[in-house]
Amino acid sequence: MKKIIDYLKNEFNSYSRNIRIALVVLCALVGLFIIFGIQILFWGLGYTDMSNLYPFGQWIIGDLGLVALGGGAFTTGFFLYIFRVEKLEPIINSTVLIGFMCYLFTLVFLVFDIGQPIRAWFGYTYPNWGPHLMPQSMLTEVVWCLTLYFCILFIELIPLPLKHKVLDKIPALHYIGHYMHKLMWIMAAAGTFLSFFHQGSLGGGMWGVLYAKPVWFDPMYFFWVIPAAMGGGTSFMLLCAYIAGKVMKKEVVPIETFHTLARISGVMLIIFLVTNAIHVYTQATIYVPAADRRYVDIFGGYYGLWMVVIEFLFTIAAIVFLNLKKFREQERFFLAGISLGALGVAMSKCTVVLHGSSVPNFPWRPFIGYNPTIQEWSVFLGGLATMVLIYMWAAKYLPLFPHLHKHENEEH
């Protein structure tokens, strides 16, 4: 035990002062996550600010946001393995790990979200059979697609630890990792197929079919969430790799890889902007008036029209910075572009959940407010802190960035 403690102390002291402070904060958040997570699981959702009137809260924003931003993993893999954009090779390990963690913690947050974790298996086995034994539950499709794609990401992740210099010296593990890498195009194709379904259904389809809710009902939801995940997700993958490079003070990914994926992200965000604009237009002119309401009347309470405005402003700014070469090749505009691209998509999820839940079904009902409790904040931020710690560990001990390890080997 003493050796373990001494190892941890030496490991902690090997970092710079700023990194040590960040580690203390991250570990504190993880500790709160464990404490309040146990409290929620044993004593129920009464410790949250959710209610029968406001059934969706912070965790569902985390679920939708992580799934959308994790969509950058299937997008990067699709362009690399199917379209053979070889310039994306240096960043693929990072994107797979981030995608894996996004889906892992989506499932973790869902455990808290459903209120009764012992019934989590209901999502797989109760599809609400309809006429002629046709499943009618969109949630069943979401649960199965999420789980299957999580398994695919796990398989895609296996070659990463097998490339460690210790494991790679074992012939059997070396060949397993080598041949799994050769077959990754199959995983990429299967992942893309599954992602299109659950991105559309979880991100929009579950809301767009609710015809009793004017603020949500719109068949366009299914179509604009897919380019949102592809554009915002790739921006998020770039942002994580960029921050890793700044923290490590090394070139972890070649600049041409950054710019190639940034162009892909910029094009996807254009499609997202157009489809989102069509979504807002059809809601304002067709679907909300069909419920005998005006579009401006469904904004109120805590969450007003400003959320939609910010969502569009973030997206437009990201499109300009990522698609115009003169901005993309300047570091400050590149950073602004990938940050705003990820934030714009995250804001769209906040708009869907917070605004949609606060708007009453009937004109004579008041708007509903929601304030996450300390338990909700701790579970949410603690989950994100755990993701950061895993990513930091992988960046230090695993060949997460082949470009970086290649140059280090050449120096030796």
Q: What is the pLDDT along the chain (412 residues), one digit of tens a residue?
A: 777 777 778 777 777 888 889 999 999 999 999 999 999 888 888 888 888 878 888 888 898 899 999 999 999 999 999 889 999 999 999 999 999 999 999 989 988 887 777 888 888 888 777 677 666 677 787 888 888 889 988 998 988 888 878 887 888 887 887 788 788 888 888 888 888 777 877 766 777 777 778 888 887 777 888 899 999 999 999 999 999 999 988 889 999 999 999 999 999 999 999 999 999 999 999 998 988 888 888 887 678 888 999 999 999 999 999 999 999 999 999 999 999 999 999 999 888 888 888 888 777 778 888 889 999 999 999 999 999 999 999 998 888 998 776 655 555 5
> pLDDT value at position 367?
84
Burial of 333 (0-12, 13-18, 19+ CB in 10 A): middle
Q: Check: CB of residue 86 under 8 Å from CB of residue 256.
A: no
- Cβ count within 10 A of residue 320: 17
CATH numbers and ranges of domains, the chain = 2-275+372-411 (1.20.1630)
Q: What is the pLDDT of residues 140-186, one digit of tens each?
A: 878 888 888 899 889 989 888 888 788 878 888 878 877 887 888 88
> pLDDT value at position 410?
53
Residue with tokens 């897919």: 226
Query: SS in 3 state form for the chain?
Result: CHHHHHHHHHHHHCCCHHHHHHHHHHHHHHHHHHHHHHHHHHHCHHHCCCCCCCCCCHHHHHHHHHHHHHHHHHHHHHHHHHCCCHHHHHHHHHHHHHHHHHHHHHHHHHHHHCCCHHHCCHHHHCCCECHHHCECCHHHHHHHHHHHHHHHHHHHHCHHHHCCCCHHHCHHHHHHHHHHHHCHHHHHHHHHHHHHHHHHHHHHHHHHCCCCCCCCCCCCHHHHHHHHHHHHHHHHHHHHHHHHHHHHCCCCCCHHHHHHHHHHHHHHHHHHHHHHHHHHHHHHHHHHHHCCCCHHHHCECCECCHHHHHHHHHHHHHHHHHHCHHHHCCHHHHHHHHHHHHHHHHHHHHHHHHHHHHCCCCCCCCCCCCCCCHHHHHHHHHHHHHHHHHHHHHHHHCCCCHHHHHHHHHHC
Cα–Cα dist 412/410, whole Å: 5
Q: Check: CB of residue 146 under 8 Å from CB of residue 106.
A: yes
Residue 187: both structure tokens together: 């995983």
Q: How far, CA to CA in Å, does 398 sit from each of 63, 89, 190, 286?
A: 27, 16, 26, 53
- Cβ count within 10 A of residue 361: 11
